[in-house]
Amino acid sequence: MTRRATTASAARSRLPGMGQTFSSGQPYEDDAPEPAPAPAKAESTDALDSLLDEIDDSLQTNAEQFVRSFVQKGGQ
Is residue 11 a contact point for another protein (CB under 8 A)? yes
Measured distance CA(10)–CA(12) in Å, rounded? 5
Nearest approach, Cβ of 25 to another protein (angstroms)? 10
Q: 12 vs 31, which CB is nearer to another protein?
A: 12
Measured distance CA(25)–CA(54) in Å, rounded? 8
Return the residues of window 12-71 that contact another protein according to CB under 8 A: 12, 14-22, 24, 41, 44, 47-49, 51-52, 54-56, 58-60, 62-71
Residues 32, 37, 40: CA angle, nearest 5 degrees: 120
